[in-house]
Amino acid sequence: MLKLRQHQKLLHKLSPQQIQLMKLLQVPTHQLEERIKEELEDNPTLEYDYQEENEEDIFEKQEKEEEDLDRVLQEELEEHLQYEEEYNSYYTGASNSNDDEGGLQEYLVQTPLDFHDFLMQQIALLDLNDTEYIIATEIIGNIDNDGYLRRDIAAIVDDLQIKQNIFTQKELVEEVLNQIKGLEPPGVGAKDLQETLILQMERFPDQEQDDVKYAIIIIESFFEEYTNKRFKEIQEIMNLTDAQLKASHELILSLNPKPGAAFSSSSNANQNHYIIPDFFIVQKDGDLELTLNARNAPELQVSPHYIAMLKAYDKSKEKNKEQREALLFLKQKIDAAQWFIEAIIQRQQTLLLTMHAIMEFQRDYFMTGDEMRLQPMILKDIAEEIDMDISTVSRVANSKFVQTEYGTFPLRFFFSEAIQKESGEEVSSKKVLKIIENIIAAEDKKHPLSDQKIMEELNAQGYKVARRTVAKYRENLKIPIARLRKEI
């Protein structure tokens, strides 16, 4: 039997304005301008306020910012090209090449090529028939940006049959692949790291030189032992002296594990993301000064033209259907514009309030730049300080950056858990991370410290840390285990 019952519930429902503010808080500086542009396009009653600064001043400011960004991009490109030139000189022997080879290398340095386009240019110089050329094209299409051919030969044979209507054998595909392995950069077309290192060493002119000869044997026959840094085992089996082992090891380290990486980075140069800080903190007269990036504080207004139009419609005594619809539309758009402006202003205030609380909490760090002086701080600490919800602080901290005199950092960098010392004092886990980093940096690389030994060292300094915590922090620092840190 169905019955009707009444229940009272207390629900917290966000208004559209609050939802809009929450969304805007998540938007970092470099995306805010795009978000404002979308709103301007969607709402004709919203516009920039040029009373504070005229359009020409705004244009000049934007032009200067674009010039600054262009300068940064140009510097990055020049650094990349310098690296690429050094790379190609080393691996292609540019200084000893003839004029034709030098011309090709010069073109490569001056005009950053797509990696696959560069390989295609080279196969045009090989003595291939039409079928072999199609096979070579298919192979190059399967080489990844690191320079590896990870697709099985049998699968390429099937691809040629299905896509190109070319019926061929694995042997012919392998013959063409071997010619591709002779192209630049050395090591291209290998199936894995072991093969690419061997291909590079096989290009060395003096194969009988001890360090080259031993390095090839190490990679060919003792690759697993080498990658796991079992150097003593290799040394004993090959009967090498310390000097011979060290020379071979240094030669292997000089090789390029990703032959195509330099090219893929140049082809993606325009996709690099440059951090635009949301805040700036500087020391001035012995104190800290916090400013918000000007891009976070655009001067917006509701268009006076549309406000006047609304008043005119409103004063009209007799309104037809079209006028009533126009009046409703204008009211909605003007209200939306006012909400958006208020949300932008509230966003500015929330950003500054949150960052100021973080700055004060971590004042010792911002005054010195010493990570050891970072205090344990969680989202709740800042939320309580500024009397806001933890989710609000989280939205600010998760996508914003601050530029300081010691570098540019994401806000989440300043948040960390507390570690208790034996004395009862609480310190930031960032401090323990730094101590672990320093301990490992100072260790004897021939006998690197285990996590257990690092834990014992921390305990001796008064930090109550378990071995599994040391392992977690070491992994956070992207530092390998002791066996893999071992050096000759």
Q: What is the mean pLDDT of each run of 10 residues along the chain (488 residues)?
A: 58 61 80 86 84 52 50 49 47 41 39 75 88 93 92 92 88 94 92 94 82 92 90 92 90 90 55 73 92 85 85 73 79 89 90 95 93 90 92 86 91 86 81 90 89 90 88 88 83
Query: Using an 8 Å Cβ cutoff, are 198 and 220 in contact?
Result: yes
Q: Is 237 left (phi over 0), alpha (psi -120 to 50) or beta?
A: alpha
Q: In whole angstroms, what is the distance from residue 230 CA to residue 483 CA?
A: 8
Q: What is the pLDDT of residue 97?
A: 39
Torsion angle of the four alpha carbons 340, 343, 347, 350, in this order, in degrees rounded to the nearest 10: 170
Beta-strand relationship, 279-284 and 287-292: antiparallel
What are the φ and ψ backbone dihedral angles of 208, each rounded to 5 degrees?
Answer: -90, -10
Assigned token pair, 348: 């500015």
- pLDDT number for residue 76: 46
Place of tokens 């009211």: 331
Terminus-to-terminus CA distance in the chain, angstroms? Answer: 83
Q: For residue 350, give both structure tokens.
A: 């929330």
- Amino acid at site 107: Y
What's the pLDDT at 173? Answer: 94
In sequence order, which residues have a C-beta less than 8 Å from that of residue 190 and are 6 or more positions away? 147, 148, 149, 181, 196, 198, 199, 259
User: In Å, what is the CA distance from 399 to each residue of 13, 23, 281?
Assistant: 25, 12, 17
**Can you tell me the distance from the alpha carbon of 429 to that of 422, in angstroms, rounded to the nearest whole number?**
15
Residue type, 59: F
Q: What is the pLDDT of residue 482?
A: 86
Between CA 117 and CA 119 the distance in angstroms is 5
Cβ atoms 289, 220 nearer than 8 A: no
Cα dihedral: 31, 32, 37, 43 (round 10)? 130
C-alpha span between 295 and 68 (Å, rounded): 15
Residues in the chain: 488
Return the structure tokens found at 276.
Answer: 């635009």
Strand partners, 46: 302
For residues 478 and 208, what is the distance between their CA atoms, to the nearest angstrom?
38
Place of tokens 């406000």: 307
Q: Which of 156, 85, 164 is nearest to 130 (CA)?
A: 164
Across the chain, which distance is largest between two alpha carbons, in Å? 105
